[in-house]
Structure 1
Amino acid sequence: MKQTVTIYQFGDALQGEINIQPRLVLRLASYLLRGLGAGLIGFAVIAAVFAYGPIVKEELAFKFGNKQIKEAPVSGFGLLLDVVEAQRVDRVRAEAASYGVGSYFSVVIPKIGAASDVIANVSTVSADEYLQALQKGVAHAKGTHFPGQRESIFLFSHSTDSPINFAAYNAVFYLLGKLEVGDRVLIFFADAKYEYEVVDKQITDADDTSWLEDKGQELLILQTCYPPGTSWKRQIVVAKPIDSLPR
């Protein structure tokens, strides 16, 4: 006689009877357990790959030499150039410091004992801006160029309309008119030294802005008020790079 299992269902006054063979129940349970086990194993494998995959990858890359970074070859000549450049910068900084200025941007005129740091890109039309800059040092006109760019470089200082204000502003260029053709002017810029030689000087009207325009060559243009202590006119000194002058 076959064994049967009776299952009753209750609810809504419905009642029934189902006969299920025990072997079928066991078979279904076995399939269910096997599927659950396979799922757990698969999950464990995936988790292990995510957890240890990067480590295994790094180990294999190191073992087969793909992890090493090849050093770029450096020639002895290249190292020598680096040393020479470092020594050059040190010399420039030391020379600038001997004049009491920095090598970032400064001007030195040995003949008249003028030495000052330069404030770059100062407006020539905003009185508030350039007067504030002139209290700190020499101003570099905004829109003009820098040493080595083969265009005009315009520096100005001592812009005051009264001797009473003389002490309030940096009078570095007060003796600019004493310069003569052939005198030297040194500019330190970006850890490099540039040497210029005076080639001309002029007295111009106060509203003459033509000197702010490029002249098609590298010119160092220095400006101050004239006569000293007034703002009636302008003293202009023009210098050229020494390496551009015929010898």
Structure 2
Amino acid sequence: MKNLLKIPPKRLFYWSLLALGLVFLLGLALTKFSPKKQYSSPLSSLLPTIREESLEPKSKDFGLVINKLKVNAPVVADVDAYSEKEYYAKLRSGVAHFKGTAKPDQNKGNIFIFGHSGFYKNDPGEYKEVFRKLDELKKDDQIHLWWKEKDMVFKVTENKVVAPDDFSVIEQTKDLALTLMTCWPPDTIDKRRVVVAKPSVLFVLKTFPLIFLFN
């Protein structure tokens, strides 16, 4: 103790710093070279997966994918919505594009698509309930419309129920829009469930390069 007291305070301070540095380096080395133990996190295993599963479209030529609802169907183009015989037959193969409404390559207008929310169980086809959960779509949910190998991403802006004779939903628009429609409630023809979507920002930037925004 007496010898320690004789050491100048300044030198004692430097030695203390040196000792602390050596202890830190030793601990770092032991951590780096010691075998690592893998610990599972029970909390993380219980948390839901936020990322939605991306479905491979059944048709990239003209197809509809809604990952949130597990909807994956070909779109049959130019279906006469005023011919019950025709659209019943076409809806066995997917969902139907309303003849006379916009096509995806027009870059404007209202692309109108309709499908079943419920139909006769014995009727052939796998798309009898393709739009049964359409009411679960919320604002900003994504809808993928495939057209000639191109993935067009839309975001939901509106989800509503209208009367069956409300023809305003098929009106054409100045800007590009996507409208989905089905009978509502499911298994009835009382009303119509209508979902309106607009191109997402990412799709717009991908389609129209940034260079045009500054010209």
Name the TM-score, length of structure 2 as normaliser.
0.63
Unpaired stretches in structure 2, ≥5 consecutive residues: 1-53, 205-215
| Corresponding residue for residue 112 of structure 1 | 69
| Corresponding residue for residue 173 of structure 1 | 131
- Is 1:142 paired with 2:99? yes
Please give the residue correspondences for 1:1-247 in structure 2 after superposition, counting only pairs within 5 Å. Answer: 99-149=56-106, 150-158=108-116, 170-243=128-201
Alignment-mate amino acid for residue 143 of structure 2: V
TM-superposed CA distance for 1:170, in Å, is 2.9
Unpaired stretches in structure 1, ≥5 consecutive residues: 1-96
**For 1:40-77, what per-residue CA distance to the aligned partner results, in whole angstroms no more than 9, with x for missing partners?**
xxxxxxxxxxxxxxxxxxxxxxxxxxxxxxxxxxxxxx
C-alpha spacing 1:216/1:234, structure 2 compared with 1 (3 Å) = same
C-alpha spacing 1:166/1:238, structure 2 compared with 1 (3 Å) = farther
> What CA distance in whole angstroms lies between the structure 2 residues aligned with 1:102 and 1:169?
14
**For 1:8-48, what per-residue CA distance to the aligned partner results, in whole angstroms no more than 9, with x for missing partners?**
xxxxxxxxxxxxxxxxxxxxxxxxxxxxxxxxxxxxxxxxx
C-alpha spacing 1:159/1:129, structure 2 compared with 1 (3 Å) = farther
Alignment-mate amino acid for residue 160 of structure 2: Q
> What CA distance in whole angstroms lies between the structure 2 residues aligned with 1:186 and 1:236?
17
> What CA distance in whole angstroms lies between the structure 1 residues aligned with 2:193 and 2:91?
16
> What CA distance in whole angstroms lies between the structure 2 residues aligned with 1:166 and 1:112?
22
Count of residue pairs brought into register by the alignment: 151
Contact 1:163 1:230 survives alignment (8 Å): no
Contact 1:136 1:170 survives alignment (8 Å): no
What SS does structure 1 have at the residue aligned with 2:90? helix
> What CA distance in whole angstroms lies between the structure 2 residues aligned with 1:161 and 1:206?
17
Alignment RMSD (CA, Å) = 2.8
Q: Which structure has the larger Rg?
A: 1
> What CA distance in whole angstroms lies between the structure 2 residues aligned with 1:166 and 1:227?
22
The percent identity for this pair of structures is 33
Alignment-mate amino acid for residue 203 of structure 1: V
Higher helix proportion (structure 1 or 2): 1
Which range is displaced more, 113-122 or 144-153? 144-153
Alignment-mate amino acid for residue 220 of structure 1: L
